[in-house]
Amino acid sequence: MIQERRKSLRLDKVFTVYLTTSEGMTRGIARNISSAGMFVETRETVPLGSQLRVTFAGEDGAEMTCLCEVRYQVALNFGGEAPTHSGCRGMGLRIVAYETAEDGPLLLVDRERVLH
């Protein structure tokens, strides 16, 4: 039996998210989401250490945006010789802060508290 070593619980859901960087906006698929971060599948990754905004948009028009930092990148190739065939790209993001309102202050993430 494999022992779970992660500090935060994971949300077993997949969400479409919108990623905003200084270069523009794109979409991604967020999975393996926790209170500390998430993995986002994307067409193109963002450089390590960069900060970006990740927006979750609900079907009812509700949105939640967090400021994240790129912690690692993944590029997998499943069976094709060229890297563009059957591959998966993505990045691990650490949540730094949550946006509270339009042009309002950011709510910094308290690493000592566990949010469920």
Domain coordinates in residue numbering, the chain: 15-100
Structure tokens at 100: 């509270």
- β 15-21/37-41 pair status: unpaired
Query: What CATH number is given for 15-100 in this structure?
Result: 2.40.10.220
Count of residues making up the chain: 116
pLDDT recorded at residue 85: 47
C-alpha dihedral, 52 to 84 to 77 to 15, nearest 10°: 40
Identify each DSSP E strand in 58-103 by its residue range. Answer: 63-77, 87-99
Q: Are 55 and 38 in contact (CB under 8 A)?
A: no
For each of the chain's 116 residues, which pLDDT tens digit applies?
655 555 666 677 888 999 999 889 999 999 999 888 999 999 888 899 999 999 998 888 888 899 999 999 998 766 656 555 456 789 999 999 988 766 655 565 554 444 43
**Tens digit of each residue's pLDDT (9 = 90 or more) over 80-92:** 565 554 567 899 9
**Tens digit of each residue's pLDDT (9 = 90 or more) over 4-23:** 555 666 677 888 999 999 88
